[in-house]
Structure 1
Amino acid sequence: MQLAVFDIGGTSIKYGIVNEEGEFLHTDSFATEAHLGGESVIGKVADIANILKRQYTIDGISISSAGQIDSVSGTVVFATDNIPGLTSLPIAEMVSSHTGLPVKVENDVNCTALGEYWQGAAVGTEDFLCVTIGTGIGGALFLDGKIYTGHNYSAGEIGHINLYPNGKSCTCGNNGCFERYASSSALEGLIGTRLGYQLELKKFFDLLLAGDEPCREIFERWIDDLTTGLQSLVHIFNPELIVIGGGISAQGQFLLRAINTALMKKLMPNHRKSLTVKLAENDNKANLLGAAKHFMRSMEC
């Protein structure tokens, strides 16, 4: 089996050809041009899929997308205006009608989890949480060997658990959400507020590793907020593993040690006894791998 796989992000759309062993025969990307709207974005995906059809033998198409996704019908249940007009689009139906191929669609963080489960940090683990830290915080719940999507395909919105009642306003319409304090963008905001000027995260971490005291204080505050949110999740789900993904995971073992040190102190004994925290291993390819795995699992049903 060979699949065309796509990962729709707000800035770029990554795509490739993946076989059933998880090997990539081709990868590339193109600009999302989100301002043109959801229908235009999906139309571009269909156009690229048709080009790939002429170059490779393809058995189907699988798409990883931001937003809450009905993974059975391949429809967007809800999405923010990062890609205007994406909400309610029947992505699978649209792409299938243009290509004549079967199409599956799944939420992007769920695809990250599936990719790491198939060929990454979560291989052989049946109960884990996947947390992606970037502009916001995304989550996937992998329970008893499968993604838990909830009643209306909207489970895993961990970025919007409440960390500070009456706290900072959030794009979801509430206040005090986890991602407003523990995302990469939240860290950038904290840096600007505390230092009085803005630093790129790379420069911030360079100074932090060099022993800069103000940077250490900022980082410890951010880690405290991050691990307080994770504490609640661990106490609710009692997972075997937490996989940390997103751009911040590029900080590697330094970040992992800081999370482990702070988190383990906050957990009840039985919850920390067998918990492991790992960084995602597949970088930008995790979502593409997960999309492929979602398609294969769907075909097995």
Structure 2
Amino acid sequence: MAFVIGVDIGGSHISSAVIDQTSNQIVENTYFSGYVNNKESKEEIYRQWSEIINKTLSVKLNQEVKGIGIAMPGPFQYKTGVAMFEKNDKYEALYGTCVQSELKEFLNKKDLPIRFLNDASSFGVGSTVINNNSQENIVAITLGTGFGATFLSHQIPVTDQDNVPKEGCLWDKEFRDGIADDYFSTRWFLKRFEFHTGEKMAGVKEIALQDNRVCKRVFEEFADNLSMFLYPYLEKFNTDLLIIGGNIAKADEYFLDQVINNWKVKDFNIPVIVIKNTEKSIIIGASFLFNESFWSEVKDKLPEL
């Protein structure tokens, strides 16, 4: 049995838990989460992050924790632990700082090694671990505040092959009048619903609850866009399985059937799994950085940004 702390850092939150690597499950009473103000000073951001991680560290366990795996959004130098947040409206006070070394100064246990993985990659890895998916080629996407994606081959993130986009990312790829992140995120839903109705909504859940003609129209448009955008990337990667997570995935009943049907017309049939507890997958995926066979495969391939 081995214990590792998995951490999910988002744009405005942090979650932390101890993972039993034998079962790849969260250890009871070790999960904590909290809000983070990403516009604060460097010291305050570290303080807010460490407050949650230290709660997890403070739980008495029957054995020592061997490390901390952190799922971190980009841009970030995952090999060196240096933050590159600039002009992206979050954590900009950390730009150019080594999170790997500076965060340790705020932790109750300063000697634990810290490793980093992209948050979308963590979601994909964690989802395959939880569901014991052995398919050769898996694509995992997160639909929420932003659009995340990872390409996996036997659970290993693929970032430098000809059959995947640069760095294995999709959010920045051109689509229609902008980039994919403009179309496959919460803000697109809010803008489109307001465009059709003049009404402002708080989130995708509130739009789905309308359950009216405009709601149906917005979700249909989203489904057509998503199926059109993903198709060439999934086909080129010879994808065996698509995994979808994020808050928008909780409304999959409004768009997923249409996505699948659009692909069937192209004679493209691919199984799709929806993960409703995205955070759990991310935390477990981050902790998997201390699975030594996995680490030996990815440590020299981690993207720099």
> Hey, what does 1:171 align to over in structure 2?
none
Contact 2:151 2:168 in 1 (8 A): yes
TM-score (norm 2): 0.82
* 1:1-301 to 2 correspondences below 5 Å: 1-20=2-21, 21-25=23-27, 26-46=30-50, 48-50=52-54, 52-56=56-60, 57-77=64-84, 80-96=88-104, 99-120=110-131, 123-150=133-160, 155-164=167-176, 167=177, 176-200=178-202, 201-208=204-211, 212-265=212-265, 267=266, 269=267, 272-273=268-269, 275-297=270-292, 301=296
- What code does the residue aligned with 1:224 have? D
> Hey, what does 2:299 align to over in structure 1?
none
Contact 1:8 1:32 in 2 (8 A): no
Output the CA distance in 1 between the equivalents of 2:259 and 2:294: 38
Output the CA distance in 2 between the equivalents of 1:158 and 1:28: 30
Contact 2:150 2:157 in 1 (8 A): yes
Output the CA distance in 2 between the equivalents of 1:119 and 1:138: 19
> Hey, what does 1:170 align to over in structure 2?
none
What stretches of structure 2 of length at least 5 have no aligned partner? 297-305
Contact 2:138 2:151 in 1 (8 A): yes
SS at match of 1:159: coil
SS at match of 2:93: coil
Q: Deviation digits for residues 61-92 of structure 1, max 9, x if unmatched?
A: 11111113433333335563322133433222
CA change 1:39–1:249 in 2 (3 A) is: same
Q: CA deviation at 1:38?
A: 4.4
| Bigger Cα displacement from structure 2, 98-107 vs 110-119 | 98-107
| Bigger Cα displacement from structure 2, 28-37 vs 67-76 | 67-76
TM-score (norm 1): 0.83
Q: Deviation digits for residues 25-51 of structure 1, max 9, x if unmatched?
A: 210112212111445323443455455
SS at match of 1:141: strand
Q: CA deviation at 1:54?
A: 4.3
- What code does the residue aligned with 1:104 have? R
- What code does the residue aligned with 1:3 have? V
Output the CA distance in 2 between the equivalents of 1:78 and 1:134: 19
Equivalent pairs counted in the alignment come to: 281
Contact 1:39 1:86 in 2 (8 A): no
Which structure has the higher relative contact order (CA within 8 Å, separation 6+)? Answer: 2
Q: Deviation digits for residues 119-153 of structure 1, max 9, x if unmatched?
A: 03x622231111111122111111244112349xx
Identity %: 20
Output the CA distance in 2 between the equivalents of 1:75 and 1:66: 12
SS at match of 1:112: helix
Output the CA distance in 1 between the equivalents of 2:55 and 2:217: 51
SS at match of 1:18: strand
Output the CA distance in 1 between the equivalents of 2:52 and 2:179: 37
| Bigger Cα displacement from structure 2, 1-10 vs 94-103 | 94-103
Contact 2:32 2:52 in 1 (8 A): no
- What code does the residue aligned with 1:143 have? S
Contact 2:125 2:155 in 1 (8 A): no
- What code does the residue aligned with 1:280 have? I
- What code does the residue aligned with 1:206 have? L
